[in-house]
Every structure is written in C-alpha cells, then in structure tokens.
Amino acid sequence: MAIATADIALPATKRVSRGYWTDVGRRLSRDPVAMTAACIVLLIVLAAIFAPYVAPADPYKGSMIRRLKPIWDANYILGSDELGRDMLTRLIYGGRLSLFMGGLPVALAFVIGSSVGIFAGYVGGWANTLIMRTIDVFYAFPSVLLAIALSGALGAGILNAIVSLTIVFIPQITRVAEAVTTQIRTRDYVEAARVSGAGPLTIIRVHVLGNVLGPIFVYATSLISVSMILASGLSFLGLGSKPPEPEWGLMLNTLRTAIYVQPLVAALPGAMIFITSISFNLFSDGLRSAMEVKQ
C-alpha cells in the first residue's frame, strides 16, 4: 500500500517542487478578492510616492474665495477644503503620511516583536516567564487606550505617534511569535538537529525561522488595517500630524466643521482611510488562506 502511494505520488512531487512560495503566489493570484485589494493598495501607495507628478495642484496653496467647493466643480474634481485647497491633491499627498504612520509601527513591531517572541519561545524557562508576564501587562490595556495614553503622555507629534503605536503592537506580535516558536521547538526535527550537534543559532536560522516567520508575517499584515485606523485616529484627535500637513485623519478633523456645507467633501478623507484599511484586511485574509495558516 505504502509503495503504491509512493509510486503514484512521484510525478506529483515533481510538480510541487517549485517551492512553497511559488505555490502561495499561485494560490493568491487565483483569489480575485485578494488581487483586487492588492491592486487598490498598490495604486494608493504609488499615487502617494509619485504625488508631485500625479496631483493636479499644490497641496498647501489655498484660495480664500474658493473655499468648500463641491465635488465635480469646474476647477476642483473632488471639491476644495475649508481653506480652498484642492481636495484630490491633498488626498493623494495625504496617503504619504497616513501610510507611513500606519505602516511603520507594524514593520517595527514585526522586527522587535518576532525577535523577542522567538527568543522567549526558543529559550523557554524563567526567561520566557519573565518576558511573557511583562507582555501580559501591556496586553491588559485595550489597544486604543494604550495608544492614546502613550501619545497623550509623550505629547503630540508624528514621531511620538509612531512610537506609541509600535509599543501597542509589540506585545501582540510577541505573543504570536512565542506561541508558534514553542510549538516548533518541541518538533522531532529540531530535537534531531540538536542531537546531531547544531548550535542554537543554527537551529533558529535553519529550522525555526523558516517555519515561524510565515504565520507571524500573516498576523502582522492583519494589523496594518488596525494601525492605519489608529494612526489616523491619533491625528484626528490632534495627537499625530499638525496642520497644514495633508494627512487623512487630520483632514477629517478639520473638515468636521464643514459637514453642514459640503457633507460629501467632508467625508472624503475618512473614505480613503476606509478603502485602504479594508483593502489591507482583504489582502491579509487572502494571504492567510493562500499560506494555509490556521487561525
């Protein structure tokens, strides 16, 4: 029976041998929802990077006589804001800060959190207990509260907002990293590597990293959406970027006074946050099923 299956399986293995990541890429490219989401994210990122070439106007130059123009106005495709600045331009430029403030904390927390978590999971013992109990303390704060408490105490500013959000996400990523590493550590092949004389760094590099980084990465991508909402939320409260900088959360806040005059224009910056955040979420969901990570 065993021999028979091996015989049949042979041609199949040749096809699969293109590697795990090729398979993931192929599965992902067949997921229409995830691909659409990825295209939207790519579009917004590219528009933000090439903002000076794409945007039709100057994001800072206003006009006192052309304030709060409606959408589809002759001069302004998406209307103008409370200081007469072109909305489309500011939405394109706004992506720069919003994506930066939402993405960087997750990237930083991914590096720090997975290092700490893999260390704690691999070493085990009292070091694990010490690290994980400290993480528990930060876990005991609802994430919105911790983010606002930290940036409130540190004071307003882009850098402080990024620091606060990084601190919020480190415990969450550490927990996931520790959990998957603890599982891998007890596997037979890790034990076999240890018995055959491999040092701890070699084992982590060869056997642990390859197996744990995938699940941690998927988890981190699912945090980007939350991070975008929180980062813009901090700016919305006045704790992130400062006027006249174009940033979606801040724009949403300054346009709150205009909801009776130009409701559609006032809602635009929030719609950008929403579109970006839902695209990241859908892409992350697609990545999770493509990588076959169980949650």
C-beta closer to another protein: residue 80 or 277: 277
In terms of CB distance, is 205 or 256 closer to another protein? 256
What the block records as the tokens of 224 is: 């980007």
Listing DSSP states for 151-215 in one string gives: HHHH-SSHHHHHHHHHHHHHHHHHHHHHHHHHHHHTSHHHHHHHHTT--HHHHIIIIIHHHHHHH
Q: Among residues 176 and 226, whose Cβ is nearest to another protein?
A: 226
Whether residue 161 contacts residue 98, with contact meaning beta carbons closer than 8 Å, is answered with: no
- Determine the Cα–Cα distance for residues 77 and 85; give it in Å rounded to an integer: 12
Residue 117 DSSP one-character state: H
In the complex, least distance from residue 269 CB atom to another protein, rounded to whole angstroms: 8
- Which CB sits closer to another protein, 77 or 259? 259
Closer CB to another protein, 44 or 204, in the complex:
44
Interface with another protein (CB under 8 A), residue from 212, 277, 283, 290: 277
Residues 141-180 that bind another protein (CB under 8 A): 141-145, 148-150, 152-155
What does the chain come to in residues? 295
For another protein, the closer of residues 89 and 279 by Cβ is 279
Q: Which is nearer to another protein, 53 or 260 (CB)?
A: 260
Instruction: Evaluate whether 101 touches 247 at the Cβ level (below 8 Å).
Output: yes
Find the radius of gyration of the CA atoms of the chain. 24
Chain positions 222 to 251 lying near another protein, rule: CB under 8 A, are: 225, 229, 232-233, 236-239
Binding span for another protein by CB under 8 A among 54-62, 174-182, 213-221, 260-268: 260-268
Phi, psi of 17 (to 5 degrees): -65, 5
With b meaning 16 or more CB within 10 Å and e meaning fewer, what string describes 193-216? Answer: beeeebeeeebbeebbbebbbbbb
Query: Is the peptide bond preceding residue 263 cis, with omega within 30 degrees of 0?
Result: no
Q: Does 217 bind another protein (CB under 8 A)?
A: no
Q: At its nearest, how many Å lie between another protein and the CB of residue 121?
A: 20
Between the CA atoms of 140, 142, 146 and 147, what dihedral angle is there, to the nearest 10 degrees? 150
**Residue 294: is it exposed, middle or buried by C-beta count within 10 angstroms (0-12/13-18/19+)?**
exposed
Per-residue contact string for residues 63-102; x = within reach of another protein by CB under 8 A: ----------------------------------------
Site map (CB under 8 A) of another protein, residues 104-123, x = contact: --------------------
* Least distance from another protein to the Cβ atom of residue 253, Å: 9
For tokens 């070091």, what's the residue?
127
Q: Which of 110, 241, 285, 287 binds another protein (CB under 8 A)?
A: 285
Tell me: does residue 11 bind another protein (CB under 8 A).
Answer: no
Count the site residues for another protein by CB under 8 A: 43
Interface residue list for another protein (CB under 8 A): 133-134, 136-138, 140-145, 148-150, 152-155, 225, 229, 232-233, 236-239, 252, 256, 259-260, 263, 266-267, 269-271, 273-274, 277-278, 281-282, 285
